[in-house]
Chain A
Amino acid sequence: MDQALLIEKIILVLTMLGITLLIATYSTYAERKVAAFLQDRLGPDRAGPFGLLQPLADAGKMFFKEELIPAASEKWLFIMGPGIAMFTACMTGAAIPWGTELHIFGYTLNMQIADIDIGILYIIGFVSMGVYGIMIGGWASNNKYSLYGAIRASSQMISYELAMGLSIIAVVMMSGSLSLKEIAAQQSGMNWNVWYQPLGFVIFFTCALAECNRAPFDLPECETELIGGYHVEYSSMKLGFYLFAEYINMFISSAVIATLYFGGYNFPFQDMISSPALLGWLQFIALFAKIFFFIFVFMWIRWTLPRFRYDQLMHLGWKSLIPLAILNMVITAAVVIARNNGF
């Protein structure tokens, strides 16, 4: 029994890691296509039908590029930086419920890798660890532009983590649990948290953009001021790791947004489906449809909005989002207390 569980978990971990990497790979393709669509162009269309093999070609190019390690850099930290970024990005997926259960060849597969009863804290922990990859890489390059990028990234992420945590607290107060499985299970049907927490959702989404260093908050890597930000000195697959980690973070934050605010794997009228096998697969598909939608929104925003100035970014974080998040939290607390007392 124990061994069967272990094998099941290992298979699940490898599958989810594979899916994560695959989606991250094709996010690069999707990003180019979305950009092309929004700018009325064609986008990549040479490699394979509709340019579908473009990510493979990009990866091949990345691998064969010359690998440079600057002479004045801290060599070990320079190598460690992208590794840490990638590691923390991949670790967060473990606590997300990817569905209830799947029935494959007679087996029932529980779709959550680790049902931690403090899953949401685990995710916050690893997200806050992600800043080390950027800081170490930017500092070890021994280049002032990359150092600026690293400093910007760290102050931005610290500032936006606060508002993010405060908006999560409102969700936690509503559901009364820190376990993502529990939070997802409570939103069955159309009983999604976003109907009760619209302000919290907007704050969380903005902070997720900032945490992923996505436009309009991509100041750590803004080309016009910092050439390329923290990864200026990186080349070859190390650069690839940084870019890849950004897409993985985007995928994971879309998954977290879907789980916290948009019902996770739940979809409307799911009670009408009687077969548990079919239900399992449909829930899995529903979750991924939501994730793809949010990835699309991320890209849509990137190619629509201009970049903030740095002082505007800090003003938005500290003077708008945090007070709004506190307000949201206080209102939620008042409503929860009123409900518990029978009003």
Chain B
Amino acid sequence: MMDNIPFLIFSFITILTALGTVTARNPVYSVLFLVLTFFALSGHYILLNAQFIAVVNLIVYAGAIMVLFLFVLMLLNLNKDSEAPRPWLWQISAALSAGMLLVVLAGSMREASLYLVKGGPEAGEIGLVKNLGKALFTEFVVPFEISSILFLAAMVGAVMIGKKEKQQA
């Protein structure tokens, strides 16, 4: 039972900050809560011996994507509580539907054939960058190359969308 304590702490932080993200009135607080969620998830990844994914999670999500969100929020000056809350009925039904989804997911997982994965995480070999790199550049090299095209397309798309349109004569 003592072994579980880091897991429980990280899980507690994850859930609490995720709820904070969803419920914070001010979007800037939402961003900061989400950054904390990513930190807690990185903690989980380290517990699971996936160091590379843990660090990449921090660099990509917390260091780049969330900075972009924060940047847009500041640029648009959306930091005030400009968002009118949904009506009560709406809030309750949102909570109910999410809760029902949770029940369905948890129920279906209970019956899943988890006997395949009894035991603990493998001792720190797969998560190392060497093994991941080997798999990435042999078995998964085609998706890897395609994802670079996706990036290029996303970059060009973002620039094109974000460009100020010329005043029409």
Q: Are B58 and A139 in contact (CB under 8 A)?
A: no
Q: Are B63 and A117 in contact (CB under 8 A)?
A: no
How far does the alpha carbon of A77 sit from the alpha carbon of B29 in the complex, in Å? 9
How far does the alpha carbon of A75 sit from the alpha carbon of B32 in the complex, in Å? 15
Is A304 located at the chain interface by the 8 A CB criterion?
no
Residue of B nearest to A126 (CB): B58
Is A13 located at the chain interface by the 8 A CB criterion?
no
Chain B 22-48 per-residue mask, 1 if CB under 8 angstroms from chain A, else 0: 000000100010010000000000000
Partner of A129, one of B56, B63, B71, B79: B63
Is A154 located at the chain interface by the 8 A CB criterion?
yes
Q: Are A154 and B58 in contact (CB under 8 A)?
A: no
| Given A117-B128, A118-B51, A135-B67: A125 and B74 interface contact (C-beta under 8 Å) | no
| Given A135-B67, A154-B71, A158-B67: A121 and B59 interface contact (C-beta under 8 Å) | yes
How far does the alpha carbon of A132 sit from the alpha carbon of B32 in the complex, in Å? 9
Partner of B63, one of A77, A116, A125, A155: A125
- For residue B62, which residues in chain A have a CB less than 8 angstroms away from its CB? 125, 128-129
Min CB gap B80→A, angstroms: 11
Interface size class of B (residues with CB under 8 A): 20 to 34
Residues in B66-96 with C-beta less than 8 Å from chain A: 67-68, 70-71, 74-75, 79
How far does the alpha carbon of A129 sit from the alpha carbon of B39 in the complex, in Å? 11
| Given A128-B64, A151-B74, A154-B70: A118 and B55 interface contact (C-beta under 8 Å) | yes
Chain A 265-300 per-residue mask, 1 if CB under 8 angstroms from chain B, else 0: 000000000000000000000000000000000000
- For residue B15, which residues in chain A have a CB less than 8 angstroms away from its CB? none
Q: Are B67 and A125 in contact (CB under 8 A)?
A: no
Min CB gap B14→A, angstroms: 18
Residues in A98-120 with C-beta less than 8 Å from chain B: 116-118
Q: Are B75 and A151 in contact (CB under 8 A)?
A: yes
Is B129 located at the chain interface by the 8 A CB criterion?
yes
For chain A, the count of residues having a C-beta within 8 Å of the partner chain is: 23
Q: Are B59 and A158 in contact (CB under 8 A)?
A: no
Q: Are B32 and A122 in contact (CB under 8 A)?
A: no
- For residue A135, which residues in chain B have a CB less than 8 angstroms away from its CB? 67, 70-71, 74
Min CB gap A91→B, angstroms: 11
Is A124 located at the chain interface by the 8 A CB criterion?
yes
Chain A 27-67 per-residue mask, 1 if CB under 8 angstroms from chain B, else 0: 00000000000000000000000000000000000000000
How far does the alpha carbon of A129 sit from the alpha carbon of B71 in the complex, in Å? 14
Q: Are A118 and B32 in contact (CB under 8 A)?
A: no
Chain B 104-144 per-residue mask, 1 if CB under 8 angstroms from chain A, else 0: 00000000000000000000000011000000000000000
Min CB gap A280→B, angstroms: 29
How far does the alpha carbon of A158 sit from the alpha carbon of B62 in the complex, in Å? 12
Is B10 located at the chain interface by the 8 A CB criterion?
no
| Given A117-B51, A118-B52: A128 and B59 interface contact (C-beta under 8 Å) | yes
Known: A132-B67, A139-B28, A158-B71. 16 other contacts (CB 8 A): A77-B28, A117-B51, A118-B55, A121-B59, A125-B55, A125-B63, A128-B67, A129-B58, A129-B62, A132-B35, A135-B67, A147-B74, A154-B70, A158-B64, A158-B67, A161-B64
Interface residues of B (CB under 8 A from A): 28, 32, 35, 51-52, 55-56, 58-59, 62-64, 67-68, 70-71, 74-75, 79, 128-129
Q: Which 9 A-B pairs have the closest CB atoms?
A: A128-B63, A125-B58, A121-B55, A125-B59, A154-B71, A125-B55, A118-B129, A118-B55, A151-B74
